[in-house]
Structure formats: C-alpha cells, structure tokens
C-alpha cells in the first residue's frame, strides 16, 4: 500500500469538497444579497463540474475573478475551522462503522443452519397448513 499516494488523493478529494462547500455558502449569501449574481453562479456551476475544483476555478477565473477570490477566501476559512477536528472525526466514524459491520458479520456467522434457512425464505409458507 502506498500511504503517501492515498494521503495525496484524500487531500485532493477534501480540497474539492471544501471548494464545493464554499460555492454553496456563497450561493446562499448571493441569493439574499444579489439574486442575479446567484443565478449566474448557479448556471456556471451546472456547466462546470465542481468535482475537480482546480478546473472549476480556472474556468471561473476567465469569467469572474472576483468570485474566484471569494471562493478561495471562504474555502480557506472552512479549512481552518474544519480540518482541526477532522482526523479524530474520521477515525471515530470508521471505528463506529467497522464495529457495526463486525457485529453484523458475527451475528451471521453464529446463526445455526436452521436459522439461516428459516430467515432466508420468510414469505414462503408451509404447504401442510
């Protein structure tokens, strides 16, 4: 396993997601303060994928440098507020999820064969009744 590559890819996904959240935040703000600009940004965002934030920002740079600056500022602020808590939240979430699935696996492994048969066909009825 190449841990460095996984870390780089994870960081890229997180950066793209923070850019997406920054755009959502700005759209909410613009909807209240400048609806025309909000409509324009929403249409631009529908035409340019936010899944690759660098491509999105490069395309937006051609059209509206002011919005690029605003997105970068909001994205940076989000990163400062969120990244501090993220490592522990990710670890905790993975631990809880793994525990849940381990319990399900253990339950299925400890069922007797007759329980497995009865549980596999709950809609079928006994024809002798």
Q: Which residue has the tokens 């905790």?
A: 92
Question: Is residue 107 in some structural domain?
Answer: no
Distances in whole angstroms, Cα of residue 90 to Cα of each of 16, 38, 75, 84, 94: 17, 33, 20, 11, 6
Number of domains in the chain: 1
Query: What percent of the chain has a predicted confidence (pLDDT) above 90?
Result: 74
Tokens of 8: 């780089």
pLDDT for 122 beyond 60: no
Across all residues in the chain, what is the average pLDDT?
Answer: 89
Kindly report whether the global pTM for this prediction surpasses the value 0.85: no
Q: What is the pLDDT of residues 65-117, one digit of tens each?
A: 999 999 999 999 999 999 888 888 989 999 999 999 999 999 999 887 765 55
Over residues 46-69, mean pLDDT: 95
Q: Given this model, what pLDDT does residue 128 score?
A: 47
CA 114 – CA 91 distance, rounded (Å): 38
What is the residue range of 68's domain?
3-84
CATH number of the structural domain spanning residue 58: 1.10.1200.210
User: How many other CB atoms are found less than 10 A from the CB of residue 15?
Assistant: 14
CA 18 – CA 39 distance, rounded (Å): 21
């Amino acid at each position: 396993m190449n841990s460095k590559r996984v870390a780089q890819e994870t960081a890229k996904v997180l950066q793209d997601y923070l850019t997406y959240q920054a755009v959502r935040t700005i759209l909410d703000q613009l909807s209240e303060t400048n609806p025309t600009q909000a409509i324009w940004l929403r249409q631009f965002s529908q035409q340019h994928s936010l899944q690759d934030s660098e491509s999105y920002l490069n395309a937006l740079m051609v059209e509206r440098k002011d919005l690029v600056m605003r997105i970068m500022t909001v994205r940076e602020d989000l990163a400062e507020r969120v990244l501090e808590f993220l490592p522990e939240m990710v670890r905790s979430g993975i631990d809880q999820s793994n525990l849940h699935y381990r319990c399900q696996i253990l339950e299925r492994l400890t069922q007797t064969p007759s329980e497995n048969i009865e549980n596999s066909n709950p809609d079928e009825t006994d024809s002798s009744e």
